[in-house]
A and B are shown apart, each in its own frame.
Chain A
Amino acid sequence: MTIWWLLLILGFILASGSAFIYVILKLHGTPKRAAAGLSESVQRAAREDIDHIFNEEFREELRNRGRLHFEKILGENAMFLQQDLRLTTAQLNDYMKEEISKELKEAFANYESAIGDAKQLAVESIEKTKTAIDEQRQVMGDQLEKEIAEEKARRIKLFEENMAQVINHYVLASIGSQIDLNDQLEYILGELEANKPAIVQDITNGA
């Protein structure tokens, strides 16, 4: 607003000066020389008036006012610029946040999807492995039970055979030296009598 007032005042002053010069020229209607002198004197007077009006103080005042106005405008513009900059920065931040969030969400979604797929694959792999392990364990269990049963039967058989031998050996060793040969005579003769036909046949038909 101030600069407009200043320009209006300057326009008014110029218009007043021009009107004064025009009136002077009209009133004196002199020949060309006179007119020329008049013109020069008018110009000189106008220049003086101008110098008088637009003196150093007035110019300094105008300069100060202009500087202040300029500084004010600069301050306002700076403030507007700062506000715009803050707003832009805020908008940019929001935009960046949105974009980053969007990208991150997409990335996270991709990661989540990939992790889900990997998890699914891992679960399937684990299930397959578990199934294979269960089958293997079942097979091994069956085989182990079979081998244990076979080993048990073998050991029982071996035990029975060895046990019979051990008992026989023990009994024979225990009573062998305790039975008098004369006491065995009846038993021996009985056995010989029982095998008599075979003995006779072998001796009769032998070589």
Chain B
Amino acid sequence: MAHEIREGLVLPTLIFGSVEVRRLLRELETLDEQLRQMALRRDEKFEMPRVSRLLDALAVENNCDLLRGSDRNVLRDFLKYVIEQAPTVHISFAADPSSAFTAKIVGWFRANINPLALVQIGLQPSIAAGCVVRTQNKVFDLSLRNHFSRQSELLIASLRGDKV
């Protein structure tokens, strides 16, 4: 099902994977339900439900007010669009990356590949350094292990004592 989205919506770099997007979608639905129930009860004392840092960042970066139902609908449609249409890139590192590192990588993908690109982080200690990027059809081995393997002839030549 195609969703109509408003122009200029962006996906914060904190939200980098489909897992986060789905979690935000569930959180947004929960928030929507809570606000609807509060409206039905006509509570005199209004307390805004606590939202996650990711949802807050999504709302702030897109200038949306989570108290307004139309904005929530916009964000919900945007997240559904992202789940359905955004390209997903799987990238593995030798160690578990920090949030700042992940944000920089995700920022590069969104700046250079696709603004809605989702990144799935994996862990692969055997690559030593660098990363392995797996797109829908290809694998880009940008690791130090692959670099060493490609330079094995040079290593063998060095072991033989040949001039390289």
Interface residues of A (CB under 8 A from B): 160-161, 163-165, 167-168, 171-173, 175-177, 179, 181-182, 184-185, 187-189, 191-193, 195-196, 198-200, 202-203, 206-207
Q: Does B126 contact A (CB under 8 A)?
A: yes
Given contacts A175-B129, A184-B129, A203-B114, contact A195 B140 (CB under 8 A): yes
Given contacts A195-B142, A198-B140, A203-B135, contact A164 B156 (CB under 8 A): yes
Q: List 17 additional A-B contacts (Cβ < 8 Å) besides A163-B155, A168-B155, A199-B138.
A: A163-B159, A172-B126, A172-B127, A175-B129, A175-B144, A176-B128, A181-B94, A188-B105, A192-B108, A195-B133, A195-B140, A198-B140, A200-B112, A202-B136, A202-B138, A206-B87, A207-B137
Q: CB distance A199 to B140 under 8 Å? A: yes
Q: CB distance A191 to B130 under 8 Å? A: yes
Q: CB distance A199 to B135 under 8 Å? A: yes
Q: CB distance B135 to A202 under 8 Å? A: yes
Q: Does B145 contact A (CB under 8 A)?
A: yes
Q: Which residues of B contact A187 (CB under 8 A)?
A: 129-130
Rounded to whole Å, the gap between the CB of B97 and the closest CB of chain A is: 5
Give the docked Cα–Cα distance between A163 and B152 (Å).
9
Q: Does B16 contact A (CB under 8 A)?
A: no
Q: Which residues of B contact A164 (CB under 8 A)?
A: 152, 155-156
Q: Does B74 contact A (CB under 8 A)?
A: no
Give the docked Cα–Cα distance between A207 and B126 (Å).
30
Interface residues of B (CB under 8 A from A): 87, 89, 93-95, 97-98, 100-101, 104-105, 108, 112-114, 117, 125-131, 133, 135-138, 140, 142, 144-145, 148-149, 152, 155-156, 159-160
Q: CB distance A198 to B138 under 8 Å? A: yes
Nearest residue, chain A, Cβ from B95:
A181
Question: A-B pairs with the 5 shortest C-beta distances?
Answer: A176-B128, A191-B142, A172-B128, A206-B136, A164-B152
Nearest residue, chain A, Cβ from B135:
A202
Give the docked Cα–Cα distance between A160 and B154 (Å).
11
Nearest residue, chain A, Cβ from B160:
A160
Q: CB distance A181 to B93 under 8 Å? A: yes
Q: CB distance A200 to B113 under 8 Å? A: yes
Give the docked Cα–Cα distance between A200 and B142 (Å).
16
Give the docked Cα–Cα distance between A171 and B149 (Å).
12
18 contacts between A and B (CB under 8 A): A160-B159, A164-B156, A171-B128, A172-B145, A176-B94, A179-B94, A179-B128, A179-B129, A181-B94, A184-B130, A188-B130, A195-B140, A199-B89, A199-B133, A199-B140, A200-B112, A202-B136, A203-B135
Give the docked Cα–Cα distance between A207 and B85 (Å).
11
Q: CB distance B135 to A176 under 8 Å? A: no
Q: CB distance A206 to B130 under 8 Å? A: no
Q: Which residues of A contact B113 (CB under 8 A)?
A: 196, 199-200, 203
Rounded to whole Å, the gap between the CB of A158 and the closest CB of chain B is: 12
Q: Which residues of A contact B137 (CB under 8 A)?
A: 202, 206-207
Rounded to whole Å, the gap between the CB of B159 and the closest CB of chain A is: 6
Q: Which residues of A contact B100 (CB under 8 A)?
A: 182
Q: Which residues of B contact A165 (CB under 8 A)?
A: 152
Q: Which residues of B contact A188 (CB under 8 A)?
A: 105, 130-131, 142
Which of A163, A164, A182 has the most chain B CB within a 10 Å cutoff? A164
Instruction: Determine which of B98, B117, B148 lies in contact with A181 in the assembled complex, contact meaning CB atoms within 8 Å.
Output: B98
